[in-house]
Every structure is written in structure tokens, then in C-alpha cells.
Structure 1
Amino acid sequence: MKIIYCEDHRLHFPQAELSGGQFVTPFERPSRVEYVLNRLKERKLTQISAPDPVDMKPVQALLDPGYLIFLETAWDEWKAAGMEGEIIAANVPARGMHMDRIPDNIDGKVGYYCHASETAMTQGTWAAALSSVASAQTAQRLVADGADSAFALCRPPGHHATADQYGGYCFINNAAVVADMFRASGAEKVAILDIDFHHGNGTQALFYDRSDVMFASLHGAPQDAYPYYLGYADETGVGAGEGFNLNYPMPPGTPYDVWREALDDSIAKISAWGAEALVVSLGVDAYKEDPISFFKLESDDFTDAGRRIGRMKLPTVFCMEGGYAVEAVGINTVNVLEGFKDA
């Protein structure tokens, strides 16, 4: 399996995250990638290459133009306004407030474009986000050109990013861009399978009214887990997209046998639909020791999950998402990839 990775991810490293009422080192940090790279090399998976330059056309086709301009210019605006720290949203529009008027002040603008204030931005965030989506795009091109699979070691991750908001450590929705690129390259039906512990709210929002991209997400029940306000089982799509959005929310303490049933059901529905290409949002935070999750998967379970996904025999792009038990994130990620290849 070919692996696409860019060193520019290091440009995004906020020094603070608001968690539990205090500032901590962000759970989403550069060392996560180092553990994955080290494990890939230990397992002799060394077909690692840098991405081609980012192609903004597929990104612009999917995301709000004002949002993209904001991401590109936010740091300069923030500093020009005299802000001394990192960009952290302090004011957000709530019920009863205007959602249709964008403030001129950068402090207000940040809140308008952010849906989760744990996610900070730094001087290098925009460049890192572009390198992340470039990795995903390069992986897609490899598969569209005939490779059976490719792994984009994306950082920052993407599945919480919507068309016009960032949050959950995500700025550009890599998996969504890949799915749209598969459509543009000729696939009539594309599936996105999100196995990250947290619901892929951004991906759902981007395709909720579409029938050409099926989205399936296995995640912690929103009553108990971020992003809290989306991810219920009765969210099945709207208009043309009705029936093409599949949510599998599960409660605290969910073991692998229950999680596996949800995986098998999603695979069966994707297969019955006749998907021609698959994008996997590969988060491994369903692991039992993840610090911000509550499922109970063991490392070996990720191998079995990868094998089940591999049995679909679809052209597949894996996009790295979450996983915050850093000493295990490499093992669990590579276990999915090896299981997939052994199917």
C-alpha cells in the first residue's frame, strides 16, 4: 500500500487546548504522526512519498469561498488586531443571534467560522491544512489511476470540518474532498466509512442532501460524546440524500462485538448499494485507552476491522483522522492497514 505524508503538518502545533476547564497541551499533536511513521517502518511498510502540490479546485468546489479566505488570512488579521496569543474562539453565535452576518472584527469572525473552541489556530495552520488535503488528493489520484488502495497520513485531520466551519482539530474535510474527486473521476457511487470514535459531523453536513455519496459513521452517542449536537440514528439524509446517511451511535463502554455488528451492517449496506469507491475516515480513538473516548476496542480488533473492510474489494483511500492514545496510535493504525491488505 502506498502511503502519502507531508512534513508540513508540523507547522500546525498549537500550544494550548481548553479541556476540563484548563489549558492543556492539545491531544491532537505532531507526535501522533511520528508514532504512525515509526510503526509503518517497523512493519516494513516503507512506500512513503510526499504529496503533489495541492489542487485548490476540488476544495473550492466543496467549501465556502469566504471560509477559505478566512483560513488563509486569519493569522495575519489576528496579529494586525494586536492579539498576542493563538487564535481561540471566545465568542460564537448562539440561538437567537444572527447566523447570516459575518463580523468585521477578527475576534467575532473567528467565532463565526468555528464550532468548537478547543481547536486553536497558529501561524502555520493554513499551510499544514493545505499539506493535509494535498496528501489526501495524491492518495485519491493513485487509486483512481489503478492502485487498489492508498493511505493518506493526514494531519490536521478533517472529518469535523464543514463547508464553512472548523473545529474538532479539523479545518478542511479531507475525506469529503477525496469522495468528490472520485465522483469527478467517474465513480457514480462513492461511500465514506467513518470509524473514528467521534461522529463525522462535517462529512455528514457536506453530503446530507446528496444521493451519490453514502456516509456511514460509527461513533459515541451524541448524548455523551463530542460533537454532541449531531450523529443520532434518525439523521438519515434529506431530499435526494434521504437514506444515504447512516449513523451508528453507541454508548459508553461499547465492546468490539457490538461495534463490529455496526461495522458489518454498514459494510453490508454500502455493498448492497453498489459503491464503486470507498473512502475510510481512519480514526483509531475507539481504542480502550484513548483519553477522550469511551469505547473498549483492543489493538487486535483493529486488525479484524481492517480485514472486514478489505473484503469489500473496493478501490479504497484511507484518510487519517483521530486517535489520541499516542503510544498505541501507530500500532492501531497499521493494524487496520495490515488487516485490509490481508483480506
Structure 2
Amino acid sequence: MKCVFSAPQHKHYPESFLVNGLRQENPEMPGRIDKLLEGATALELEMVTPPDYGLGPIARVHTPEYLEFLQNAYKHWQRIPGAAAEITPNIHPTHRDGVYPASVVAQAGYHMADASAPITGETWESALHSAWSAIHASELVLVGEKSAYALCRPPGHHAGADLAGGFCYLNNTAIAAQNLRRKYGSVAILDVDLHHGNGTQDIFYSRNDVLTVSLHADPIRFYPFFWGHASERGEASGLGYNLNFPLPRGTADDGFLAALDKAITRINAFSPEVLVIALGLDAFEGDPFAGLAVTTEGYGRIGKTIAERIPGPTVIIQEGGYLCDELGQNLANFLKGFEAGATK
């Protein structure tokens, strides 16, 4: 399996984010990359740098207004006397169907769902290279590779078509899935991140060519709060093509794998031609967000189970997973388990 990664992903680093009314150190830091690379290196994955794919594949998922905002917002923000070094919204519209604002302050509120995705001068470049990594992993599968892993940072699954949030700016998982549709008629997305991938769900919510399935901590008292509930099944043509498994806080290996069994059963009923895994490693028992309790060994079981029961081409996109000593080993265990399951 190849590991796709682009070095400029290191550049983006908002040093704080707003949580519970307080500014705290941002856990989505460049050091995550180093830990994840340790895991990829331990497996001796072939490292690949993605080419410049431009905006084409990204624009199939995100609106032109939003992409223009991400590219230019920091430059406009810098013109505000006394503005903070990072863009964080301080006003949000109650409705988003009226006049598009001219002020970058208002645009920030329009395009940023919360205060956990600040924009710096390096954000656009890093997010772009993160998306190109996801695109290239999907391209590898499109030309015949059985699987590929994209080390994406910043992550993406909380980003909507025109919204940033939850450390996410461009939805790498959705971009990869949409790119795969150039060849494959049906795509399934399996999200195993600690947090519900609300952006991914929203992007495909009314479509029946992409099945979205997510296992995550119950959002009733956990981010992203408003999305990820079991009642969310899709709408219009997409009704029945979205499935959520909200898990009780502290769910460990056996409970997670039991839900995964049900998720895979639904995915196989859809019979996708290709699978995209949104690989969050923050369901780990020692992750700083402390929502679920999957073990390092459990990640090996999860990877093996997916590969055994959903054979076929697979793109693996890195989502969450925050700094802890075991982060690299968790990645290595998942990928090792996946490869073991794929050979059976």
C-alpha cells in the first residue's frame, strides 16, 4: 500500500481554538503528522507525493464562493486595524439564504460553523495539499491499486460544501469519493472517527450514489452536537442512504466492533463498487478528546474486519487522531490489520 503525503501540510497551525468559552491550545497541530509518519514508516509503506491537481476535483464538492473565501480571507482580514492574527468568527447568520456579505468579518461567520477552525496565512496552502493527497490516493485506486492511504492534515470530514468547522476546511473524504465517481457507479463511505462526519453527511445527504455510514460518540452531549443522530437517514433521493451509529461515551473494542458489524451489513446491502474509509484514530482510549475507548489492538481488529468483509478497492483518508504516544502505532495496527484482512 502506498502512503500519499505532501510536506506543506505542516505549515498550517492556528495555535489556539475556542472551546467552552476559553481559548485553549489547538490539538490539531503539525506534530500529528510526525506521529502518523512514524506509523507509516514502521510498515515500510511506499511514500508518494501528490501532484498539483488544481481546483477541479475540489470544486466538484465545494462551492466557488467558499473556495474564493478560503483563498482570500486572510489577506482581507489583515487589512482590519487591530484584527487578531487568526480568523475566528464572532457573528453567524441565523439564515444563509439572503444577501452574500461583502465584509470578511461577516463572510467568516457565514463560512465557519464554529470557532474550532481558525484561518491563518498558511491554512489555504496546507488544506489544498491535504486535499491533493486525498485526490491522489483516489487516483491510485482509479488506475488499479487495490488500496491507498492518504495522510491528510488538516482533516476534512466536518467541512461542508461551503462551511469550515471542527479543524476542517476542505472535505478530503468527500473529495476522494466524488473523484472515484468518475469510474465507479457507487461509493460507500465508512467513517470511524470519534466525531460524526457532519460535513460528509451533508454533502451527500440527498444522493443515492454515495452511501454514508458513521460510527461515533453520541452527539447528544458531544461535538458536533446537532448532527450524527440515528434518525438522520438522508432526504429526497438520498433517503435511506445515510446511517449513523451514535455510541455511548466510553464504548470500547467489543461495542465498537458490534456496531461495525451492523455498519458493514448495511454497506454490503448497498454493494458499493469502491469503499472510502474516513479513518479517525481519536476513538482511542488515550486520545486527548477521551470520548470512546478503542485500544491499539482494537484498531488492528477494526482494520482486519473491514478488509475481510468489504473486499474491493479502498481509499483510506486520515481524519482525526490527536497527539498521544500511541498515535503512530494505532495507524500501523489499523493498516496492518487491513492488509491482513485483504489477503484472505
Structure 1-normalised TM-score?
0.96
2:40–2:331: 8 Å Cα contact kept in structure 1? no
Shift in Å, 1:39: 2.3
Alignment check: 8 A CA contact 1:93 1:99 kept: no
Q: Which residue of 2 aligns with 1:49?
A: 48
Q: In the aligned structure 1, how far is the partner of 2:43 from the partner of 2:188?
A: 29
Does the 8 Å contact 1:194/1:200 carry over to 2?
yes
Matches within 5 A, 1:124-135: 124-135=122-133
Matches within 5 A, 1:167-316: 167-184=165-182, 186-311=183-308, 312-316=310-314
Q: Runs of 5+ in structure 2 lacking a partner?
A: none
Deviates more, 1:322-331 or 1:296-305: 322-331
Counterpart-to-counterpart distance in 2, 1:323 and 1:281: 11
1:98 shift after superposition? 5.6
The residue aligned with 1:332 is 330
Structure 1 spans left out of the alignment, 5+ residues: none
The match for 2:62 is: 63
Bigger drift between 243-252 and 16-25 goes to 16-25
- 1:10, distance to aligned residue in structure 2 (A): 1.4
3-state DSSP of counterpart to 2:60: helix
* Residue range with higher mean Cα deviation, 212-221 or 58-67: 58-67
Q: Does 1:27 align with 2:27?
A: yes
Cα separation, 1, equivalents of 2:218 and 2:99: 32
Matched residue, 1:164: 162
3-state SS of paired residue (1:257):
helix
Mean CA deviation greater in 77-86 or 190-199: 77-86
Paired residue secondary structure (1:175): helix
Which of residues 150, 155, 165 in structure 1 aligns to 2:148? Answer: 150
Alpha-carbon distance, 1:244 to partner: 0.6
In structure 2, how many angstroms separate the alpha carbons of the residues matched to 1:62 and 1:202? 11
The equivalent of 1:86 in structure 2 is: 86
Alignment length (residue pairs): 339
CA distance in 2, matches of 1:93, 1:99: 9
Displacement of 1:293 in angstroms is 3.5
Amino acid at match of 2:17: E
The structural deviation recorded for 1:272 is 2.1
For the residue of structure 2 that corresponds to 1:62, the secondary structure is: coil
Cα displacement (A) at 1:99: 4.5
Q: Distance in 2 between matches of 1:60 and 1:44?
A: 34
Q: Deviations over 1:264-284 (max 9, x none)?
A: 111111112111101000001
- 1:250 Cα shift? 1.0
Do 2:191 and 2:278's aligned partners in 1 also have CA atoms closer than 8 Å?
Answer: yes
State the secondary structure of the residue aligned to 2:212. strand
TM-superposed CA distance for 1:43, in Å, is 3.2
Query: C-alpha separation between the residues in 2 aligned to 1:294 and 1:260?
Result: 16
Query: Percent identity of the aligned residues?
Result: 38
Please report how far the alpha carbon of residue 63 of structure 1 lies from its aligned counterpart in structure 2 after TM superposition.
1.2
**Deviation per residue, 1:139-167 (Å, 9 max, x gap):** 11111111110000001100000001000
Residue 259 of structure 1 aligns to which amino acid in structure 2? F
**SS state of the match for residue 326, structure 2?**
helix
Specify the code of the residue in structure 1 equivalent to 2:53: V
CA displacement 1:75-116 (0-9 Å, x = unmatched) = 10000223242111111123xx56523322211110110101
Query: What SS does the corresponding residue of 2:100 show, helix, strand or coil?
Result: coil
Shift of 1:129: 0.7
Matched-pair contact (CA < 8 Å) for 1:114–1:166: yes
1: CA distance between counterparts of 2:324 and 2:108?
29
- Contact 1:54 1:133 (C-alpha < 8 Å) held by counterparts: no
Q: Distance in 2 between matches of 1:56 and 1:293?
A: 36
Report the alpha carbon displacement of residue 231 of structure 1 after superposing the two structures with TM: 0.6
Question: Counterparts of 1:217 and 1:245 in 2: how far apart (Å)?
Answer: 8
Residue matched to 1:117: 115
Partner of 2:134: 136
The answer to whether the Cα contact below 8 Å between 1:31 and 1:326 also exists between their aligned partners in 2 is no
Helix, strand or coil at the partner of 1:80: coil
Displacement of 1:132 = 0.4
Which amino acid is the alignment partner of residue 241 of structure 1? G
Check the 8 A contact 1:306/1:338 in 2, yes or no: yes
Q: Does 1:323 find its partner at 2:321? A: yes
Query: RMSD across aligned C-alpha pairs, in angstroms?
Result: 1.2
2:105 maps to 107
Tell me the amino acid that sits aligned with residue 71 of structure 1: L
Give the TM-score of the pair, scaled to structure 2: 0.96
Give 1:130's aligned amino acid: L
- Local SS of the residue matching 1:17: strand
In 1, the alpha carbon distance for the partners of 2:84 and 2:26 equals 19
